[in-house]
Structure 1
Amino acid sequence: MRVNITLEHKESGERLYLTQKSKRNTPDRLELRKYSPKLRKHVTFKEVK
């Protein structure tokens, strides 16, 4: 089953990216390196509910 998730950067509080993941294959929280326009560099975004 695929679910929609929101990715957030903790320091800047940005919630820019929406993506999907499979709960069966990745049950823990997802972390992806994405571009932050506010900081103008790539940073780690983590999954929030």
Structure 2
Amino acid sequence: MGKNKGARIIITLECECRNYKNDKKRKYGIFRYTTSKNKRNTPNRLEIRKFCPCCNNHSIFKEIK
């Protein structure tokens, strides 16, 4: 039997830009990151600034269900 991971869960972060078409050289669509968080310490939805290849800059990624 494996150990229980406790309150740590895997979440998906999605860029706010969605299908923002500002440059023809970049691909279009939705870009997502996956990470984990502790549900007890951060019960609210997580927001992190990360690089989005669709926007070609750092933007806010929000947690989705």
In the alignment, structure 2 segments of 5+ residues that lack a partner are: 1-6, 20-29
Count of aligned pairs:
49
More strand per residue: 1
Gaps of 5+ in 1: none
* Higher Rg: 2
Give percent identity, aligned residues only: 49
Divergent runs of 4+, >6 A = none
TM alignment of 1:1-49, pairs within 5 A: 1-12=7-18, 14-49=30-65
TM-score by length of 2: 0.69
What is the TM-score when the length of structure 1 is the normalising length? 0.89
Q: CA RMSD in A?
A: 1.2
